[in-house]
Structures are given as C-alpha cells and as structure tokens.
Amino acid sequence: MNFWDDKRVIVTGGAGFLGSYVVEKLKARGCRNIFIPRAEEYDLTKEQNVLRLYQGFSADIVIHLAAVVGGIGANRENPGKYFYDNLVMGAMLMEYARQFEVDKFVAIGTICSYPKYTPVPFKEENLWDGYPEETNAPYGLAKKMLLVQSQAYRKQYGFNSIFLLPLNLYGPRDNFVPANSHVIPALIKKFVGAVEIGENEVVCWGTGKPTRGFLYVGDAAEGIILAAERYNKSEPVNLGSDLEISIKDLAKLIAGLTGFQGEIIWDITKPDGQPRRRLDINKAEKEFGFRASMDFLKGLKMTIEWYRENRKFLERINYNH
C-alpha cells in the first residue's frame, strides 16, 4: 500500500541541489519509476522539449524543482533571463501536464515572491500584499505565476496542482560558485579560503543587518514529499523553519565554525536585499505534518565539512567551465 510503489514520477531539476535529495527520498520510499530530464537533453524553456518529455515518459506526478536561480548579484545581472526562463518553463510544464492528464503537479515557488516589507512572520495570506524586493522581483514574480496558474487550472479544469514556498536552503552539495551562490555557501567559501591562505580580513556584502531564515535541504525534500503524498489544494504553503538570524550574526557564526579569527568588513555599497525574513510554518504542519528537524548549527557544520572535503574537485569543475 506504499504511496510511491506504482507511481511514475518526473522530477525536473532532479540532478540539482534540492532535486538530488528529493530523488533519494523517493527511492527510499520505494519509488522505482523516476525520470530526471537533464538540462543537456531537455531545455525546458523550449516547447518542443516539454512535449517530448511528456510523450517519452507517462507520469503520474510531476515535481517541478528546476529553476534558473542565484543570489543577489546574479539576480541583478540577469533579471530578464531569470524572469523569462522561469516563467515559460513553469507555464509549459504545467500546461502539458494537464494535457497529458498527469494526476498531480507539485510546483516549487520561492520565498522571493513575498512583498519586500511583509510583516514577520510571513504568512501565506500576505503573498499579494505588495511588490517583492527589487533585486529578485523578476525571479520571484515569475515563480509566483505558477501559483496563479495552479489556482486557475484547478478552477477551470479540476487539475490537481500544489504550490510550495521553501525558505532559503542550505546543506551539503549546495552551489559554491561565487557568481550565483546564495549567502551560506558564499560565506563558507570566503572564510574557508581566508583561513587556508592566512588572510586577516574578509569582505561581506551589505550592512549585515537583514535577517534570514534557513531550511536544511534534507528537511525541504521531506516537506516536498509529504506534500506530494498528502496535500491536494491550490492554496500556497510555506516550507521552512522558525529560525531568524541576521546576516552579521550568520557571518560571525560561520567564521567561528571555519576557524577564521580575522576582521569581517561590510561593503555597504552592495545591496542588502529584503530587510527581514521569517516564515509562519504552521500551515505545513497542519496540512501535511511537516516540521523541520535539523539543528541549524549541526547543519552548518555538515555543510562546511562537505565543502572542505570536496573543495578541490569543485574548484576544478568551476575552472574548467
């Protein structure tokens, strides 16, 4: 009677950071028919490739994790690309899932969709109360259109799709490429590198005053799986933890964990991004029994350890690209 035993599942982005954890959890639950469209073979911003995907693999469930994404710097440099690629990829994947009578579509949004000055903690009903933070608004709005599409398709076609809003993710196997990494891997890379070459100062972006919450990637994967199993409504649901920490305190914490004892310099010419982020996480627990379990300090230590063990390999890949 296992939910996943007979399910055929497409996981877009299944070879990526979050996707690799989702696929591992699916396999652990007994799912044997998983298809991961690789970017080299399936550019999902092209309609013919989306059509070919559904023609080639008859899916019961689609978990759409694929995204063109990055940190503040990457968002500032690629607003058009991040808007277009995420918008058309999501829209076509859901439309063809409907046409091919897929039983369920799990859409993954982003916390960047919330208004810049959302009251803390962020509640799902606040999602439309204002414009997102400017540096990542094109990405956030493109992903939010999946929610509009999900609700419209349920109303008109009875199509079963759900929309989840995960908090900033971190963990082993994260993206450590400086051009488009997020804050935790970016800080880990800076401090580990500074310790190795004996630098006595590290420069970080912004003022350090904004706050962020973080969700361990394994917890996020568990939340997505539970929602796929148990949640069948189009109202958005936050996936996160109740953590809120300032970027300044986060930098100090990572500095300590990596052994950096020098000075942290804040480059206030760089943008801060959204002033505060903390999620209301009650709905996920109520609707499908999800609550994050990873201790933040333990998760950070695991991430730093993984980076140190894989650093040379990662740098070689980045250099070759």
Among residues 96, 139, 170, 307, the one annotated as catalytic is 139
Q: Containing H/E element for 190?
A: helix 183-197
User: Can you state the angle between helices 17-28 and 217-230, rounded to 10 degrees?
Assistant: 50
Residue 105 bridge partners (DSSP)? 62, 161
Residue 139 bears catalytic tag: yes
User: Can you state the angle between helices 296-320 and 247-258, rounded to 10 degrees?
Assistant: 80
The answer to whether 105 touches 263, Cβ cutoff 8 Å, is no
HSE-CB at 107 with a 13 A cutoff on CA atoms is 34
Neighbours of 178 (CB within 10 A): 14
Sheet arrangement for strand 33-35: 33-35, 8-12, 61-64, 104-108, 161-166, 237-239
- Give the active site residues: 139
